Structure 1
Amino acid sequence: MTQTLIPSPTIRNVHRTVLDNGIVLLVTENPAADIIATRLFIRTGSRWEPQEKAGLSHLLAAVLTKGTDQLSSLEIAEQVESVGAKLNADTSTDYFLISLKTVASDFEPILNLTAQLLQSPSFPEAEIELERRITLQGIRSQREQPFSVAFEQLRQQMYQHHPYALSTLGTEASVSQLTRADLQNFHQTYFRPDNLIISIAGRITPETALEQIEQIFGHWTVSAPPLPSLSLPSLTPHPQNAITAQETQQSVVMLGYLTSPVNHPDYPVLKVLNTYLGNGLSSRLFVELREKRGLAYDVSAFFPTRLDQSQFVVYMGTAPENTEIAIDGLRTEVERLVSVPLTADDLQVAKNKLLGQYALGKQTNSQLAQIYGWYESLGLGMEFDTEFQTQISAVTSEDALKVANHYFIQPYLSVVGPQAFVSSLS
């Protein structure tokens, strides 16, 4: 059946269609360079893993490109590298991703190869064992990095039994127990056309892209039962402290606050607050705590975009003897947002910075394919690109004060540092 490509009413050169088998296709025509970038999003990731199988989607991503029913790992690598293309798989909390980039003339054969990887990976036992060892080394390495230790214990405090509590790598215990059958079951459950988004950007017309996608993926049908529904634990803030003594050259201090998911009205306001507080050398945290007071080796804030409740985190790396002062300094700056409205100038600078960085993040074909596919995978649709910018521009000082008062009440605290300087904190 012929599909209809629907252009976005607000985004130039972007078209969306849904194939008969459920695949969502997004095409951004950009003929400026002879490059086509493609992102294939599968609506899965570590959020969909049982806690006892944490790290499953990461291990699957590591071995997905290592063999199909017809091709070996070496043959796959040769096909990609012989034309100078790029092809890789990765996972995150909220989606699984296959990325490819080619010159226009090589797009169809590399897309064919990608379809084979997506539909019929062989998961060779030897490759699974190799990637398992590499993953376990990565998990052990994280335990030697103060920032990773601090962030891990902060996540576990805040999310407890929710999948967001764990790194996408998983744990030593869970990864050690993963089997080839686990990978196959996860793949058979979630890797299906009605759970797939294909986002293409580059020198290709929407009509040609649709024709090639239908030719390569159109025969792929859904033979599995309906997608399983997730039943995740609800999250209620219960702030607590987690202190780890580790003989390091600096202490790492983190404050965390449970906040909103991406589809909540508070999301754009929190993005503005994050930019004001911790984005760049002109941010409030950097100026006040590093430049003026000399407390920080490193200081910043982050607020990741999440399907479920996100976390707003401020952190600092500081000299061990300044650990308690650093905690007070971070708390003071966050609590200032609760009691003191942002000035019109501060608010406008934060919005300009955020919108400018957002615009710079949509310059390449890879960035365009990524952002539109990502929004679709989050259930926001490609129109969110325009809506987000409008929402940011509309944030007021009153909005910022109200949202800060709602979320920034009592923080979770995570500290890693030398015993002599952190023992009194617990």
Structure 2
Amino acid sequence: MQNRIVHRAVLPNGMTVLCTENAAADIVAARIFIRAGGRYEPIAQAGLSHLLAAVMTKGTDRLTSQEIAERVESVGASLGADAAADYCLLSIKTVSGDFAEMLELAAELLRSPAFPEMEVELERRLTLQGIRSMQEQPFSVANNQLRQALYGQHPYALPGLGTSETVSSLTPTDLRHYHKTYFRPDNLVISIAGRIQSEAAMKLVEKVFGDWEQPLQTDGSVLPLPELELPAVMPNPQWKITPQDTQQAIVMLGYLASEVHSTDHLTLKLLNTYLGSGLSSRLFVELREKQGLAYEVSAFYPTRIDTSHFVAYIGTAPDNAAVALEGLRSEMERLQTILLSDEELQAAKNKLLGQYALGKQTNAQLAQISGWYETLQLGIDYDDRFQERIPQIAAADIQAVANRYFTQPYVSLVGSEKAIDLVEQVKR
């Protein structure tokens, strides 16, 4: 990346190892990706990945939570776990001299977490507090109800934290079963970046993880990973409205959009940059600067293995809710009929490529991006393909994508009764 070579190898146990040498600082970062996450959870167990990630660093068969924390802090390192829609993640950052020790600790966390009942209960309570807090935030309420409308029974419909009902029912036994199912070497990608030679990194990973065997069936063959039977995501545009006595109304327009392997993915990424990235974006300039409608206005288009979604949203005064909705809808419909000018298109490309370059400055960022691409099965050359493809996108490509995806929107509104009444009058 930025002319840095990513070295790739697969261990005999199926674990994928990536290494990017970068001696600029005496730091080594590692990202260990597990192909798990929200997509792999049963709907009735939403939040399972988040709870597992929260508890995974809180004790192993051999070490207590306090002992783990002391080992990390004694060398000034950082170690943490997280969960996302399409993966779980264990992150390490340390000076190069302590990397081997921290990698051994990470391996112990991955392979033999204890899921102590007291820690599970504590993290469950914290998660339930987080869920309650989200229910008081208009943006979160609008986003959650929009996602539920978009995805129905697909796991993407639910927030990463889960719901009060699902989290309350999770047990240490559920965590152990999920861990046993997905935390296995042939379902892991470890990406390392920093002051370490690739050959040394590969040998270290093999030493630490090489004896971790794939689970076997009774006949001695490797136990296959579960085949997900996810429901198809079918278009069903609808309105979702929640009254909430707030000082601003949140209006969202949502559209089902392409997954990461689609040829439309990068065009949608560029379109997202044009519409909603920063103070020079189309939505900010038109709806906030020129019309004064917005406290906040933007767009987002998450990268997903399965069908993704494209959202344009605005936070506005209740009196302006209907006008703001029409403004958003007008901007989305405009893309179907009016080509971006050469200047608009080039500015969006420059911004996207600039932001992309800035996202690859540190060893942690380098480890993250190469490991993420591998986990999504895009290939380690995707970094080059991304930078080659963006300049080739034409205004006609953007218009075609807008016509393909931005037809009838899903609408999500959270606001006062007055805001809702005004929006209902323009509903069509």
With the length of structure 1 as denominator, give the TM-score of the two structures: 0.97
Write the deviation string for residues 172-201 of structure 1: whole angstroms up to 9, x where unpaired: 110000011100000000000000000000
1:260-271 to structure 2, matched below 5 A, reads 260-271=258-269
- Map of 1:288 onto structure 2: 286
- Map of 1:161 onto structure 2: 153
Distance 1:164 1:238 in 2: 16
Deviation for aligned residue 1:11: 5.0
**Alignment: residue pair count:** 418
- Map of 1:42 onto structure 2: 34
Deviation for aligned residue 1:28: 0.3
Q: Give unpaired runs (5+ residues) of structure 2.
A: 217-222
SS of the aligned residue for 2:189 comes to: strand
- Map of 2:226 onto structure 1: 228
Could you tell me which amino acid in structure 1 is paired with residue 36 of structure 2? T
Contact 1:243 1:425 in 2 (8 A): no
Distance 1:394 1:101 in 2: 36
- Map of 1:389 onto structure 2: 387
Contact 2:243 2:414 in 1 (8 A): yes
Contact 1:142 1:149 in 2 (8 A): yes
Matched, 1:76 2:68: yes
SS of the aligned residue for 2:295 comes to: strand
Write the deviation string for residues 214-269 of structure 1: whole angstroms up to 9, x where unpaired: 11000000125210011111112111000111000000000001010010000111
2:168 pairs, out of 163, 176, 184, with: 176
Distance 1:150 1:246 in 2: 11
Distance 1:12 1:141 in 2: 43
CA RMSD for the aligned pairs?
1.0
Could you tell me which amino acid in structure 2 is paired with residue 355 of structure 1? L
Contact 1:245 1:423 in 2 (8 A): no
- Map of 2:376 onto structure 1: 378
Matched, 1:119 2:111: yes
Distance 2:203 2:93 in 1: 19
Could you tell me which amino acid in structure 1 is paired with residue 413 of structure 2? V
Contact 1:40 1:199 in 2 (8 A): yes
With the length of structure 2 as denominator, give the TM-score of the two structures: 0.96
1:178-327 to structure 2, matched below 5 A, reads 178-224=170-216, 225-327=223-325
- Map of 1:333 onto structure 2: 331
Deviation for aligned residue 1:35: 0.1
Deviation for aligned residue 1:345: 1.1
1:150 pairs, out of 142, 148, 171, with: 142
Distance 1:331 1:313 in 2: 11
Distance 2:3 2:230 in 1: 35
- Map of 2:220 onto structure 1: none
SS of the aligned residue for 2:4 comes to: coil
- Map of 1:363 onto structure 2: 361
Write the deviation string for residues 108-143 of structure 1: whole angstroms up to 9, x where unpaired: 011100000000000000000000000000001100
Deviation for aligned residue 1:13: 2.7
Contact 1:11 1:386 in 2 (8 A): no
Could you tell me which amino acid in structure 2 is paired with residue 380 of structure 1? L
Write the deviation string for residues 287-321 of structure 1: whole angstroms up to 9, x where unpaired: 00000000000000011111011111000000000
Distance 1:32 1:407 in 2: 43
Contact 1:242 1:413 in 2 (8 A): yes
Distance 2:421 2:330 in 1: 22
Distance 1:422 1:181 in 2: 44
Identity among equivalent positions (%) equals 61
- Map of 1:352 onto structure 2: 350
SS of the aligned residue for 2:279 comes to: coil
Return structure 1 stretches of 4+ with deviation > 3 angstroms.
Answer: 423-426
Deviation for aligned residue 1:421: 2.0
Distance 1:315 1:295 in 2: 12
Deviation for aligned residue 1:418: 0.5
Contact 2:30 2:367 in 1 (8 A): yes
Contact 2:321 2:423 in 1 (8 A): no
Deviation for aligned residue 1:344: 1.1
Contact 2:53 2:81 in 1 (8 A): yes
- Map of 1:26 onto structure 2: 18
Could you tell me which amino acid in structure 2 is paired with residue 369 of structure 1? A
Could you tell me which amino acid in structure 2 is paired with residue 377 of structure 1? T
